[in-house]
Amino acid sequence: MSVPTRSRGQREDGHPDSRLARRQRRLEELLEAAGVVTGAELDAILDRYLATAKPANGARVVARAWVDEGFRHRLLADGNAAVAELGFSMGGGIQPQLLRVVENTPRLHNVVVCTLCSCYPLALLGPSPSWYRSEAYRSRVVRRPREVLEEFGLHLPGHVEVRVWDASAETRYMVVPRRPAGTEGMAEDALAGLVTRRGLIGTAAV
């Protein structure tokens, strides 16, 4: 999908994430001024976090849901608690993040967007792709989801409902794709290798 990125001068200060970012930066400044932590230490913490934030984490969650029916039910009911079973956290610093996990079925396909910003479950999906942050994707997928999915190469039958989930500063979404046919005998690790970041967002099948 070819989409233009937002211009450097465009701002979204009305979005809650913008206010949170300012509050977070102010807190960092106060901690640095009080000698509690240095800027270098904060950078090191962020680097360690990003080093462990990757799509493979979300893939592990999906693979477990595919092989463990009990875990799948827990994941759909309480995403935060379920991913914690695998050692993942949705802690959002100043404001904790609620993880909602939605499941694709033969009659329903889910796709995730953040129309006002680029809210995204970073810990499970890794840094967001540029197209997810682009204004073109954010504005069009809610109005013409099938058209956008087709541009990604995903053609869904007419009887399949497409449901778009809009993330926010408080709530992040992740998709559990349908398990591919013929994978019944595959081990959990091998199943995880089939899951892509686009599948976790909903712009691709697995």
pLDDT in tens, 168-183: 988 999 999 999 999 9
Task: Quick: pLDDT tens for 103-146.
Answer: 999 999 999 999 988 888 999 998 889 999 999 999 999 999 99
2 assigned to active site = no
Among candidate residues 117, 128, 130, 139, the one labeled active-site is 117
Among candidate residues 18, 89, 118, 128, the one labeled active-site is 118
Q: Are 62 and 130 part of one and the same domain?
A: yes
Task: Quick: pLDDT tens for 33-53.
Answer: 887 666 665 555 554 544 555
Whose structure tokens read 């046919």? 181
Q: Are 139 and 67 part of one and the same domain?
A: yes
Among candidate residues 2, 7, 89, 114, the one labeled active-site is 114
Q: Are 80 and 120 part of one and the same domain?
A: yes
* pLDDT score at 95: 57
89 assigned to active site = no
Q: Are 36 and 77 part of one and the same domain?
A: no
In CATH, what number is assigned to the domain containing residue 158?
3.90.330.10
- Sequence-distant (6+) residues with CB within 8 A of 144 are none
Q: Are 112 and 167 part of one and the same domain?
A: yes
In terms of residue numbers, what domain contains 59? 53-201
- Residue 188 near residue 178, CB atoms below 8 Å: no
- Sequence-distant (6+) residues with CB within 8 A of 137 are 1, 3, 113, 131, 148
Query: Is the pTM of the predicted complex or chain greater than 0.85?
Result: no
Average pLDDT score over the chain: 83
